[in-house]
Amino acid sequence: MMFRIITILFFFLIISSAQLIAQDEAAPLIEKIQKTNGNNKVDLLNEISVVYRKTDRIKSMDYARQAYKLSVEINYNSGKALAKKNEGICWFFIGNNDSAALCYKEALGVFTEIQDKKGISACYNNLGLIAQETGKYDDAIRFYERSVEMDHALGDEIGVALTLGNISDIHIYRGEFKKALVLTNQSLAIFTRQSYKPGILAGYCNRGAEYDYLRKFNESERDYLKALTLSRELKDKYMEIMIHSNLGVMYWHWGKPEKAMQYLNAALEMSDEADDAYNIDNTLKTIAEIYTSQKKYVQANEIYQKILNRNVEIDNKRQVAVIMTAIGRNLIELNEIDKALGYLNKSLEMTVGLKTPLESLENYRNLAYANAILHNFKAADSLQDLFADTYTQIYNSDSIDGIRKGKIRTEGGNSSPVSETNKWLIAFLLFTVIVMMSVFAFRGKNNEK
């Protein structure tokens, strides 16, 4: 108990320290406000908003709104657009995507009117993030491409690199980890060449996640620990929390649940529900997965339901689908098969629409199992066919299995890593296991500009 109290006090001091640093940075700017007016005052208010962005979202938003109000009064369009963009970023961090998108669109209109290419690029990038968060990946890529187009025209390598990092996230969602890693290495090289530490931090964090997906845990741990050191050097609380959460996820995937829980609990203790909803959701999701592994299905589903409710509210379709799958899987374990089918079928409908094959694969597997338990063998047979087909598609791509198993291909052999015979063998074995299990009983988972 004493250790926990000391730990909480320690992290409280870290958060308080970050807030004091922000206050120290803002103090001279606030003092200047009293001695200035007009456009210069708007610029100062926007600058203070940026200073508070990662330590106090409420203050940051308040200063952005003050900047917007004054810029409207004096007809200062550049300040007005920047203020709306800053407010949008605050909404995005808080987790209110609708409000963020409205702010970005208003800012984009003004930036376009005054032909501010840098502002236009930033808004397209940030609208891409909103589309990405809500599972509209084709829209996100279109926004990102517009952003990159503007950055190339400006000769802004940093802007290009930031957007490449966001595009790599979409490749991850689609199971294209090799493509994601290529883009992350490209962006990290730009950040390193430009000595841009926030970008280097984001690059190490992204690459750590990609190595985790590829099950290269030593490399993932190396990059995350580099990122953690750099986040503390830059006094970036938000990234520090995210890296703690990501390390917890990685150690869980690595089969080290005790170490995972250390980092996950630390992330929760450092987080504030008011402005770190994204980090909290990802942290809680992993804790729920650990509870599931310990057969604490009810406790796990209580956590999942909390995450689900928030993501339904903000229309984050991908996360909604992932959480529905997890709830459905646990309901099978609790022998609530009809409820499980409801969640799994809805999740499958969403993952097919989002074109996220890894998540569809998980739904086919669970649905086949559930139908076999109910002796709906015709449906189970159809689902196992879909599982085999989807598995083969992923296997032929640059996903985890495709990369790992591609290494054992023999020179001059079949160019496809899974032959038609092997495909049906996989399917047959899966179905056989499902039927056996149904007879015997239940078996005992961002860069703003």
pLDDT of residue 447: 66
Instruction: Judge whether 240 and 230 are in contact, CB under 8 Å.
Output: no
Q: What pLDDT score does 152 carry? A: 92
| pLDDT at res. 406 | 31
Confidence (pTM): 0.57
- The 10s digit of each residue's pLDDT in 105-140 is 999 999 999 999 999 999 999 999 999 888 888 999
96-131 CB burial, b ≥16 within 10 A, e <16: bbebbbbbbebbbebbeeeebbebbbbbbbbbbbbb
| Residue 419: band (very low, low, confident or very high) from pLDDT cuts 50, 70, 90 | very low
Cα distance between residue 85 and residue 39, in whole Å? 17
- With a CB cutoff of 8 Å and minimum separation 6, the contacts of 318 are 133, 134, 135, 173, 350, 354, 356, 359
Give the domain ranges of the chain: 22-115, 331-401+418-444
Phi and psi angles of residue 434, each rounded to the nearest 5 degrees, phi first: -60, -45
CA distance 49 to 137: 30
Biggest CA pair distance of the chain: 80
Q: How far apart are CA 97 and CA 71, in angstroms?
A: 24
pLDDT in tens, 292-310: 988 999 999 999 999 999 8
Q: Which helix (H) or strand (E) holds 417?
A: none
The confidence score (pLDDT) of residue 187 equals: 95
Phi, psi (degrees; rounded to nearest 5) at 36: -135, 170
CA dist 324 and 304 (Å) reads 8
Tokens representing 350? 């969403």
Say whether 350 sits in a helix, a strand or coil.
helix
Task: List pLDDT tens digits, range 159-177.
Answer: 999 999 989 989 888 888 8
Look at residue 77 in the predicted model and tell me its pLDDT: 95
Which tokens sit at 88? 């949008």
- CA-closest candidate to residue 422, choices 403, 409, 436: 409
What are the tens digits of pLDDT across the range 6-21?
Answer: 333 333 333 334 444 4
Q: How far is CA 43 from CA 63, 80, 95, 102, 107, in A?
A: 11, 10, 26, 22, 15
* 141-150, 224-233, 349-358, range with the lowest pLDDT: 349-358
At the top level of CATH, which class does the domain 22-115 belong to? mainly alpha
